[in-house]
Amino acid sequence: PRDWSSDVCSSDLDTRLLLDVASRPYEPNLVLAGCEESDRRARSFPVLADRTLRDGWAAAYLCERYVCQAPITSSADLLEALT
């Protein structure tokens, strides 16, 4: 299964674009997780523990079989990675 996490407020435009792309295709085993950068409680979950912004932008972390690709900040790149 794949899991994906984003690490910024959901009201930020770059986060909304990444979430839109990630939720567009139907992926029965896709797990979406996210939190605000300052949310220490959410960061206690292992899937979010080391997820950070990249140069101030929301980052998508696409993982499969417990191996993650490099962080993705572009919605176009995320769409390509998911297809």
Looking at the predicted structure, is the pLDDT value of residue 10 above 50? no
Reported as a single tens digit per residue, the pLDDT across 26-59 is 777 777 777 666 777 766 777 777 777 788 788 8
Q: Is residue 70's pLDDT more than 80?
A: yes
pLDDT at 22 over 70: yes
Q: Report helix, strand and coil shares of the chain as percent, to nearest 5.
A: 25, 25, 50
What distance in Å separates the CA atoms of residue 20 and residue 68, rounded to the nearest whole number? Answer: 20
